[in-house]
Structure 1
Amino acid sequence: MSAPRRAAVLGSPIAHSLSPVLHRTAYAELGLDDWSYGRFEIDEAALPGFVAELDETWAGLSLTMPLKRAIIPLLDEISETAASVEAVNTVVLREDGKRYGDNTDIPGMVAALRERGVEEVGSAAVLGAGATASSALAALVRVCSGPVTAYVRSEARAAEMRQWGERLGVDVRTADWADAAEALSAPLVVATTPAGTTDELAAAVPDVPGTLFDVLYDPWPTALAAAWSARGGQVVGGLDLLVHQAVLQVEQMTGAPSAPLAAMRAAGESALASR
């Protein structure tokens, strides 16, 4: 019998996280009865001490805000994907003691889109300019063949998004948030803003919308996602992203060749419905 292994999600706030539900479901489906997955309220100040205490029973960590950048100096190596956006959401504790950081949000976004048949679009729009927006740009490198327009609230944010575009190899153009309704005519719209921010755009959904990728999952649906669906548009939600990135985390941490996507999604849907 193998030795018990541990993993957990860290962040602040963390009580809302669905990661324990998804990972524990995967362990059960994979027969990893001696694996456990916890949840810890950890801020940037507490992170170095927590990481220093990790022993050989630990297999990995999932990281959410505000730790995705703060973890990087504490690691031995990070993937090219994580380095491209300076954000790590996955840490694997290797057998040799090395701490390896990766970003599964980016390939998770791509997988969520491809699951719905979105393989390539000629242009796209991004609503917002935070950390999730930079990950969205990195994902769009693999999906969008033409320009990406980012709708933002300040010139400083616009400059940041253009810089990310140059760094990632994306043709990023910027527009003022006041004109965000124009974004909705793009074949792919990625909403990366906090809850409530895009509610004002719900009335502007076009008659024939393309695909909306709204990264929120609670509350769900957002007003924009509901209006989009009502017009017959395709919607990819935050739970889709969460499940796909968690699948990749489980595979990296456990070494399993294939994590149980359907079971993990069902568990996530059930957990959200009970809130």
Structure 2
Amino acid sequence: MSRRAAVLGHPISHSKSPALHMAAYAKLGVDIEYTAKDIEVGGLRTFMESLRGDPTWCGLSVTMPLKSAMVQEVDEVRGVAAALGVINTVVFEPDGDSVRRVGYNTDVGGIVEAVRYAGVAATPHAAVLGGGGTSAAAIAAVHDLGARHVDVFVRDSGRAREAQAAAAAVGISLALRPIIEAAGAVVASDLVISTLPPRAADGLAEELATLTGQGMGTGAGVLLDVAYDPWPSRLAEAWQGHGGVVVPGLEMLMYQAAEQIRRFSGCDVDASVIDVMCDSVGLPRRGF
């Protein structure tokens, strides 16, 4: 029986997840159809109810703005997702005569793997841009990398509850700061993770360019810009142009997708599968 999986979010037309997943399933020789579905928060419950009784579904990838809302639509939340209250993966597990929907978060591991290959410093001085669901995973990731403190820069402190909850859950101290202060602060950071939507960091990129022109370079810090369309982002260009190391969001997406693929298919994801995943989205292999 052919199985089904999908990525859910809004907007979703730009998503590279279908390319990554379909390349992997073809290489693995498993019959899983993977599609993209444009779902907003208000329509999530109806969509999830529509899947009940359909035994063909094996998994869902969950992107913005659904990562927190999905917690209410699963039967169980496991691993770091339970601490964060943020899900990016749903696995449909057989449970006797029924199916159990289990939520996970593979974003944390995806971020950790991506920046480790970039040579991020041990116990990094870290900063996160943005305070939504992906920032929660970023905060957990910098904690896993050994950071004891993280500065989180947001446009609206009232919308940073997920970031604050994540810091409390993993036990890392957090300073919430306005985004207008970010440029002067991130130039001294070992690791910067931008979870801002595409183009939302363009103004910050211009500020960084101005600071560099005044003799304040970014040094050799690592920037992971989760937004990958368009690429390179202005932020990535500003950072790389003045000595910083840039990790593309596609690299993080690839790593978190690899774990989803393992859970959806039940197959090992080895180097040969990673190869075809990278090729599917034009991602150069860098020591994978």
Q: State TM-score, norm by structure 1.
A: 0.89
Give the SS at the match of 1:23: helix
Question: For 1:150-173, what per-residue CA distance to the aligned partner results, in whole angstroms no more than 9, with x for missing partners?
Answer: 222344356764454223211112
Q: Is the 8 A contact 2:109 2:256 kept in 1?
A: yes
Among 173, 177, 181, the alignment partner of 1:175 is: 177
- Matched residue, 2:112: 110
CA distance in 1, matches of 2:46, 2:156: 37
Give the SS at the match of 2:148: coil
Give the SS at the match of 2:264: helix
Q: Is the 8 A contact 1:247 1:261 kept in 2?
A: yes
Q: Is the 8 A contact 1:184 1:209 kept in 2?
A: no
Question: For 1:114-148, what per-residue CA distance to the aligned partner results, in whole angstroms no more than 9, with x for missing partners?
Answer: 22233623311112222221221011110133321
The one-letter amino acid paired with 1:187 is D
**Residue 280 of structure 2 is aligned to residue 267 of structure 1:** yes
Unaligned runs of 5+ in 1: 271-275
Taking the TM superposition and a 5 Å limit, the aligned residue runs for 1:1-275 are 3-32=1-30, 34-54=31-51, 55-96=54-95, 97-118=99-120, 120-157=122-159, 161-181=163-183, 182-202=185-205, 203=209, 204-205=211-212, 206=217, 208-258=219-269, 260-269=273-282
Give the SS at the match of 1:150: strand
Give the SS at the match of 2:144: coil
Q: Is the 8 A contact 1:185 1:209 kept in 2?
A: no
Q: 1:162 to 1:94 in 2, by over 3 A?
A: closer
The one-letter amino acid paired with 2:236 is A
Equivalenced residues, count: 267
RMSD of aligned C-alpha atoms? 2.1
Q: 1:249 to 1:232 in 2, by over 3 A?
A: same
Give the Å deviation of 1:43: 2.4
Q: 1:147 to 1:57 in 2, by over 3 A?
A: same
Q: 1:115 to 1:207 in 2, by over 3 A?
A: closer
Using the TM superposition, name which of 100-109 and 201-210 deviates more.
Answer: 201-210
Give the SS at the match of 2:94: coil
Q: 1:169 to 1:95 in 2, by over 3 A?
A: same
Question: For 1:58-90, what per-residue CA distance to the aligned partner results, in whole angstroms no more than 9, with x for missing partners?
Answer: 111111222222222221111131122211111
CA distance in 2, matches of 1:122, 1:136: 13
Tell me the percent identity. Answer: 41
CA distance in 2, matches of 1:24, 1:180: 38
Q: Is the 8 A contact 2:62 2:88 kept in 1?
A: yes
- Matched residue, 2:286: none
Q: Is the 8 A contact 2:68 2:133 kept in 1?
A: no
Give the SS at the match of 1:121: coil
CA distance in 1, matches of 2:22, 2:162: 37
Give the Å deviation of 1:50: 2.5
Give the SS at the match of 1:173: strand
Q: Is the 8 A contact 2:131 2:161 kept in 1?
A: no
CA distance in 2, matches of 1:45, 1:100: 21
Give the Å deviation of 1:179: 1.8
